[in-house]
Amino acid sequence: MCGFAGFWNSERPLADPGDILRKMTKILFHRGPDEQRTMVSAEAGLGLCFCRLSIIDLSADGSQPMESASGRFVLAFNGEVYNFRELRAELEVQGDVFRGHSDTEVMLAAIERWGLEPALSRFNGMFAFALWDRRDKCLHLVRDRLGIKPLYYGFAGDALVFGSDPAAFKPVPGFSGEIDRGSLCLFLRHGYIPAPYSIFTGIRKLMPGHLVSFDGIEAGNLPDARPYWSARDAVENGGQDPFQGSPEEAVTELETLLRDAVTSRMVSDVPLGAFLSGGVDSSTVVALMQQTGGRPVRTFSIGFEEEEFNEATYAKEVARHLGTDHTELYLTSKDCRDVVPLLPKIFSEPFADSSQIPTFLVSQLARSQVTVSLSGDGGDELFAGYHAYAMGQALWRRASRIPPSLRAVGGGAVRMIPTGGWDGLLKSAGPFRSGGRAFALTGDRMHKLAEVAAQPDFSSMYRALVSAWRNPGGLVVGGQEPPTLLSGLDSDPPGQDSIARMMYWDLRSYLPDDILTKVDRASMAVSLEARVPLLDHRVVELAWRLPMEFKRRDGQAKWVLRQVLDRHVPARLIDRPKRGFGVPLESWLKGPLRDWAEALLDRDRLVREGFFHADPIRRSWREFLSGKRRWQTQLWIILMFQAWLENRDGLAGSDGR
C-alpha cells in the first residue's frame, strides 16, 4: 500500500521538477512512510514521485518507480496483486528472469510480455497505477475493478497531474484548487462525491475498472476512459449464466472461493491481522483466516460507552470462539470527538459518512500491532444486506400500484402537514414494516416516505431514499447538480428485480465512493494497509450468478454468506439486528460539538464564503437544536464541507473561487 503522484507536460516542461516532486512526496508521506523516491524525465517533461509502505519484498528490489527489465516501462503502483506468485511462475516458464520478489516487478513483466489490457485481465488485486511507456511516449492510468484504491487526474495549468490524492497536486504551478459547485451539490445529496467527479474543477476520479491513456497533452482535453472490466457486464453475465446448483452447493462453492480469496490476501512480509466487528462479514473473513493460518489471527475491535453503538461484546464472543489473539479498546465520546478536527486532513475531499470516526480509530488500534489488516467490506452490496433494500422494495411495491400523478399529489399533501403535527398523529400508530423489520414512524420519516413514494420511477425513488438533502441545488450558490449513475449516466441492467437494481447501483457508486473511500483514507492516515477479500472480483462475479433467493431467504439477508459462517461460528453468536458502525451525532451536535458547529454555520461566515445560501441552513440548524427536526445527518454534511474548507491550507485562493 502506497501513494504516488506525478505530472506530465511535454510541450512546456515545468521548472524545477525535482522540487515540485519533493513537495508532492511530503503531502503523500502518510501513505508510504518507509521510502520516498522520485523520477524525472526531462526529455519527456514527466515527473513521478512514490511513497512506499513496504509490505512485499522489503528490500530495495521492491522500490518504485520501477523500470521493466527492458527499460521500456516505468511503473508507480499503489496496492497489491495477490496472484503475483502464480503469474511469476508462468512468466519464468516463458523465459522471464526476476531480480527481486515484489508483485510490482511481476506486473511489469506481465505487461511487457502480454500487453497492458491482457495483463490487467489476469491481475487479481486492488491497484491504482501510472504506467509510462518510454518507447511510445504514452502514459496509462489504471484503477482496479471495484475501485478499492483511489486515482485522480486532471490539469494544473498546461500540465497533466495524476495520483492517489488530489492534495498532492497543490505544489504544481497552475493548480487552482477551484471548487466545483456541481460536485458540491452531489456532496450534499450523498455525503460523498461520486466518480467521475471530484471537489476540484478540472480534476476527475478514474472510474473503477477503467484505464485512460495519454499519447500527448492537450491542455484541458481529457481523453475518454475505457473499461477493461465492467460491473454491469458481471451483473448481466450472471443473469445469463445463473448458478444451477442447490443452495448447499452454492454455500460450498462460495466458501471455497472465499477461502482462496482470504488466503491470497494473507501473503505479507510484515505483521497482519483483521478488523472484527462481530457481524457476518468480518466474522466470516476472520473464521477463514483462522483456519488458514498456523497461528492465532490478531483481531481488533473497538467498543463505545453508548450501548446502541457498541458491538465490541459480540466481537469478543466471536474471537473467543475462534481462538483469535483479540485486542479491544473501549472509547469514550471524547476519544471519538477528538478525531473530528483531524477529519479534514484525513480526507482529501469533503466526506461525511460519520462512521469515518470509528473506522479511523480501529485502524489506529490495529496499526499499533500490525501493518496489514483484512476487512469484511462488500458483503452487504453483494449479498443484499442493507435494510434500505428491503425498505425500497416494500415502498415501491406499494407505491407502484398508484398512478404517478396521484402519488405526487398525495406526497405533497403529506408534506403540507408539519413534522410536529405528524408526530402527534402517529403516537398511537404502529410501526412501518419491511423485510421483517419494524421502523417507528415519526414526522420526519413521514415526510421522507412521502417524498420517496412520489417519485415517477424506481431509480428516482431509490435516489430519493438515499439522499440527504432533498434539493442540493437550492442550497449551493450557483450550483447545478450533474448527472450520476442514478440520474442519467447509466441505465438499469436488464432483467433485474428491485433489490438487485439497488445492489447494482451501490456496487457502482456507494461502495467505491463511500465505503472504500472511508476505509482507504482512514487506514492510510495511520499507514495501515486494508485488504478486502469479499471484493475479490471472482467472488463478485459468483455473487451475481446466485439467485436472489440465495441472498435473501425467509426474511434473512445475506443468507448464503451466513451459511458459510454457520460452518465455523454458532448462529447464536451472530443472529441479532444489524447495526451501523456509527456515532451519536445528534447528542454530540446538541452538546459538546455545539460551539464548533455554531462557528462553522455562522450566518455571516456562510455569506462571506459564498458557497451556501445561509438562510435555509440556519433554519435547519435552529429546527435541529429545538428538537423540531432531526437534521443531524444533513447538517453533518454541511459541517464536513465547512471544516474541510477551513483546513485546506490555502489550497485555493482565500475565497476558494
Quick one: pLDDT band at residue 655, thresholds 50, 70, 90? very low
Q: State how far the Cα of 161 lies from the Cα of 154, in Å rounded to an integer.
A: 6
Answer whether 108's CB lies under 8 Å from 77's CB: no
What's the mean pLDDT in 634-656?
Answer: 76
Provide the pLDDT for residue 487. 87
CATH superfamily, with its number, for domain 2-229 = Aminohydrolase, N-terminal nucleophile (Ntn) domain (3.60.20.10)
In single-letter form, the type of residue at position 286 comes to: V
pLDDT value of position 343:
95
pLDDT of residue 173: 95
Beta-bridged to residue 529, according to DSSP, are: 372
Residue 652: the pLDDT is: 37
- 104: which 3 cell numbers? 510490482
C-alpha cell at 407: 402519488
Check residue 430 and give its pLDDT.
60
Q: Round to whole Å and give the CA distance between 252 and 654.
A: 59
Q: Residue 649 above 70 pLDDT?
A: no
SS3 (DSSP) at 412 = helix
Question: For residue 653, is pLDDT > 90?
Answer: no
**pLDDT over threshold 50, residue 164:** yes
Report DSSP state, residue 13.
P
For residue 651, is pLDDT > 70?
no
- Check pLDDT > 90 for residue 399: no
Q: What is the pLDDT of residue 218?
A: 81
Q: How many Å apart are CA 311 and CA 279, to the nearest integer?
A: 8
Per-domain residue ranges for the chain? 2-229, 232-375+525-573, 387-481, 585-646
| Residue among 176, 180, 167 nearest 611 (CA) | 180
**Cis, peptide link before residue 65, omega less than 30° from 0:** yes
Q: Pull the grid cell for residue 627.
A: 428538537
Q: Model confidence at 400, in pLDDT bands (50, 70, 90)?
A: confident
Q: Which residue has the cell 527499460?
A: 71
Q: Lowest-pLDDT range, 53-67, 341-355, 418-432, 626-640?
A: 418-432
Helix, strand, coil % over all residues of the chain, rounded to 5 = 45, 15, 40
Residue 560 contacts residue 279 (beta carbons within 8 Å): no
Strand partners, 200: 179
Question: Taking every pair of C-alpha atoms in the chain, what is the biggest distance, in angstroms?
Answer: 78
Question: Higher model confidence: residue 158 or residue 576?
Answer: 158
Note the pLDDT tens digit of each residue in 280-291: 999 999 999 999
| Cβ–Cβ < 8 Å for 98, 109 | yes
Residue 656: the pLDDT is 36
Pairwise CA distance, residues 91 & 113, whole Å: 8
Kind and range of the H or E run holding 67: strand 66-67
* DSSP letters spanning 112-143: HHH-HHHHHTT--EEEEEEEEETTTTEEEEEE
Mean pLDDT (the chain) is 91
- Exposure of 299 by Cβ count < 10 A (0-12 exposed, 13-18 middle, 19+ buried)? buried
Confidence of residue 198 (pLDDT cuts 50, 70, 90): very high
Phi, psi of 433 (to 5 degrees): -120, 140
| pLDDT tens, position by position, 440-454 | 667 777 778 778 888
pLDDT 10s digits, 232-255: 999 999 999 999 999 999 999 999
Q: What are phi and psi of 461, to 5 degrees?
A: -60, -45
C-alpha cell at 70: 527492458
The pLDDT score that the predictor gives to residue 401 is: 87
> What pLDDT was estimated at residue 12?
83
- Using an 8 Å Cβ cutoff, are 561 and 383 in contact? yes
| Model pLDDT, residue 408 | 78
Q: How confident is the model at residue 557 (pLDDT cuts 50, 70, 90)?
A: very high
- pLDDT tier, 577 (very low <50, low <70, confident <90, very high otherwise): low
CA 112 to chain centre: 31
- What's the predicted TM-score (pTM) here? 0.94
Q: How far is CA 55 from CA 59, 104, 230, in A?
A: 10, 11, 29
pLDDT band at residue 650 under the 50/70/90 scheme: very low
Rg (CA), the chain: 25
CA angle 336, 340, 343 (to 5 degrees): 120
Q: What is the pLDDT of residue 412?
A: 75
* Contact of 486 with 459, CB cutoff 8 Å: yes
Is omega for the bond preceding 494 within 30 degrees of 0, making it cis? no
Q: Does domain 232-375+525-573 have CATH number 3.40.50.620?
A: yes
Residue 58, phi then psi, degrees to nearest 5: -75, -5
Query: Quick one: 294 exposed, middle or buried, by C-beta within 10 A (0-12, 13-18, 19+)?
Result: exposed
143-166: average pLDDT:
97
